[in-house]
DNA sequence: TTCTTTATTAGTAATCATTACTATTATTAA
DNA sequence: TTAATAATAGTAATGATTACTAATAAAGAA
């Protein structure tokens, strides 16, 4: 069966364009509901389902990546070349880590297991500069809880 | 406020013991609902909420780890020393990768960013031995879909 | 431009993993 | 044995995401 992707029959909707725009011009690895809230200002009738559907299509066409760090919700990234991430355990902000992809890690596991290794995912955890300073000042620990409309 | 954990006031229920037993004697990184189904045979009135609550407690007391690979559900592991994982992209099976923790990766990111790096998570993707062979035999690609009661 | 086709949308309902709530039960220490 | 209260079973709620559907709007053809 020939898919839409293969037939290149995707249509260029204003909504899809703006969602991609937002991701290209963002470094904060937005969530679906953050994008929804942001674009709701321009598209008064925007539906959250539309955001999710377009994120899926953009992902399927290789224009964005879906990032999931086991938090219960996905983040999206228009940087689609292999790179690593850092998550601040205090403020939960996500940073791109600009060290070149380490293929030698794959090689090591290939030697060890004999499996065919295609890729790996590497995420660092710790405290970013801002939160490192806050900790020093002995500030109170603010507990995170699940909330809609995260950036 | 003094927590139960600090007061050491957890009670030793049959359910909690069995859940830990199951995890200690398993290499398949079970999900909550797999554990639930398995133990339902012994505890006819077992509740899924009980499984989740005990998994949380076992995690909080450091007896197990919660693993989340961004699949929408968690897996649990009684191996609580730092190690890496491999996920077969075809059969979704998870393997422990027995290479020693690479603290030098943390050091590299510390030098690059100045952040305080506390840990990292490294997951490899590819094809396990079984699925590698299947691919060679040009077998049909079976699409995965969300189902309850996964192992 | 107008017409036709159909991908896409908004709106809403459903799904699924997980958490919250509550009356009852069972563990633990006195 | 008893009193205190963690833990349980059962059920309802939550939150992210997906599915469904009638109406709308791209995009190519006429």
Phi (first) and psi of residue B44, to 5 degrees: -60, -25
In degrees and rounded to multiples of 5, residue A112 shows phi and psi of -70, -40
Is residue A142 within 8 angstroms of chain B, CB to CB? Answer: no
> What's residue A127's pLDDT?
95
The domains found in chain B, sorted by start residue, are: 4-77 (1.10.10.10), 84-136 (3.30.1490.190)
Minimum-distance CB partner of A126 among B68, B118, B129 = B118
CA of A53 to C1' of D20 (A): 14
Per-residue pLDDT reduced to its tens digit, A69-121: 999 999 999 999 999 999 999 999 999 999 999 999 999 999 999 999 999 99
What's the pLDDT tens digit per position in B26-75? Answer: 999 999 999 999 999 989 999 999 999 999 999 999 999 999 999 999 99
Signed CA dihedral, B92, A96, A72, B25: sign only:
positive
Strand B116-127 relative to strand B84-88, pairing: parallel
Looking at residue A135, what is its pLDDT?
77
Q: What pLDDT does A9 receive?
A: 83
Instruction: Give A37 to chain B, closest Cα distance, Å.
Output: 23
Of A113, A123, A126, the CB nearest to B115: A126
Is residue B145's pLDDT more than 90? Answer: no
Nearest 5°: CA angle at A143, between A142 and A149? 100
Helix (H) or strand (E) holding A94: strand A94-97
Q: Give the pLDDT of residue A134.
A: 84
Alpha helices in A28-100 (DSSP H): 32-40, 48-60
The pTM of the full predicted model, rounded to 2 decimals, is: 0.87
Please indicate if any CB of chain A lies within 8 Å of the CB of B133. no
């Amino acid at each position: 069966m020939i898919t839409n992707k293969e037939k290149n029959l995707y249509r260029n909707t204003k909504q899809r364009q703006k969602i991609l725009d937002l991701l290209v011009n963002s470094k904060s690895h937005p969530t679906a509901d953050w994008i929804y809230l942001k674009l709701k200002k321009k598209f008064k009738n925007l539906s959250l389902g539309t955001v999710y559907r377009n994120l899926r299509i953009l992902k399927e066409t290789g224009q964005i990546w879906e990032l999931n760090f086991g938090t219960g919700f996905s983040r999206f990234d228009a940087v689609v070349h292999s790179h690593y991430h850092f998550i601040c355990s205090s403020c939960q902000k996500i940073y791109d880590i600009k060290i070149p992809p380490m293929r030698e890690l794959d090689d090591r596991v290939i030697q060890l297991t004999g499996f065919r290794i295609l890729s790996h995912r590497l995420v660092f955890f710790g405290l970013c500069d801002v939160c490192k300073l806050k900790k020093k000042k002995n500030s109170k620990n603010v507990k995170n809880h699940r909330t809609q409309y995260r950036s």
